[in-house]
Amino acid sequence: MSSQERSAPRRRNPRGQGQVLKAQLVDAAAKLLSTLDQPETLTLRQVAREVGVAPASIYSHFPDLSALIQHVLRLRYEELARLMDQAAQSAPDPLVDLVARCAAYVRWGVDQPGHYRTLFGGRMPDDLVPGSAHGAGAELLEAVVTSLAAAAEGERRQPSAEQQWQAASCSGPRCTAWSASTTTTGTFPGHPWTT
């Protein structure tokens, strides 16, 4: 490794500020996942090098690479869900709610293609990141399905489970907005939600 590839020496955090290192580890893992040509090749050693700590330092915050990646996934899903909820917050009707959510999804995916790929790229091996790691995105998906069902019904009431299922089946024009948004942002094959 050349001297240019090495991180600048990192100053040790004062006692009691271990959360600073944890945040730095999460930020480094998120950055690497979003910028590596093959994010599935990420290692703890790479994360440690990015932060400027010994790889063993990671274990006081995360038991293994899988736990670190799952933490990053959860944070990205929460970020995307929050943006979609904020976009739909003042929607006057279900259709505007759906369009606002889809527009926020597209905007986030286009503005942050690396993070989008991290969530929806589907390139992580199951032994490293099981499909259940994407469970944090279930609320995001549920909000879109609920919005889709409400738009299909044409009213703002809470749709029944059957109505949500019918809306999620995406048959007909009511799915155009969500289909367009996933196509625009380039949803990847192999993601647990697309298989």
Report the C-alpha gap between 174 and 168 in whole angstroms.
10
**Is there a single domain that holds both residue 79 and residue 46?**
no
**Is there a single domain that holds both residue 32 and residue 90?**
no
Report the C-alpha gap between 95 and 63 in whole angstroms.
44
**Is there a single domain that holds both residue 103 and residue 171?**
yes
**Is there a single domain that holds both residue 178 and residue 106?**
yes
Model pLDDT, residue 194: 47
Model pLDDT, residue 11: 62
Domains in the chain, number: 2
Which CATH number fits the domain that encloses residue 105? Answer: 1.10.357
Greater pLDDT, 40 or 82: 82
Most confident of 15-24, 47-56, 90-99, 124-133: 47-56
**Which residues span the domain enclosing 33?**
18-62
**Is there a single domain that holds both residue 30 and residue 89?**
no
**Is there a single domain that holds both residue 93 and residue 134?**
yes
Model pLDDT, residue 39: 84
**Is there a single domain that holds both residue 168 and residue 73?**
yes
Instruction: Tell which of 35, 62, 89 closes a domain.
Output: 62
Q: Lowest mean pLDDT of 76-85, 151-160, 161-170, name the range.
A: 161-170
Residue 191 resides in a domain? no
Which CATH number fits the domain that encloses residue 48? Answer: 1.10.10.60
What would the two tokens of residue 98 be? 């759906």
Q: Is the pLDDT of residue 172 over 50?
A: no
Report the C-alpha gap between 117 and 104 in whole angstroms.
16
Q: Is the pLDDT of residue 125 over 90?
A: no
Residue 140 resides in a domain? yes
Greater pLDDT, 146 or 186: 146
**Is there a single domain that holds both residue 98 and residue 152?**
yes
**Is there a single domain that holds both residue 73 and residue 133?**
yes
Model pLDDT, residue 38: 85
**Is there a single domain that holds both residue 173 and residue 79?**
yes
Q: Is the pLDDT of residue 165 over 60?
A: no
User: CA dist 15 to 18, 49, 62, 63, Å?
Assistant: 7, 22, 19, 21
The percent of residues in the chain predicted with pLDDT above 70, rounded, is: 69
**Is there a single domain that holds both residue 81 and residue 158?**
yes
Q: Is the pLDDT of residue 19 over 70?
A: yes
pTM metric for this prediction: 0.73
**Is there a single domain that holds both residue 33 and residue 117?**
no
Q: Is the pLDDT of residue 86 over 90?
A: yes
189-194: average pLDDT: 49
Greater pLDDT, 191 or 110: 110
Using the structure block, give the residue that is written with the tokens 């948004």.
181
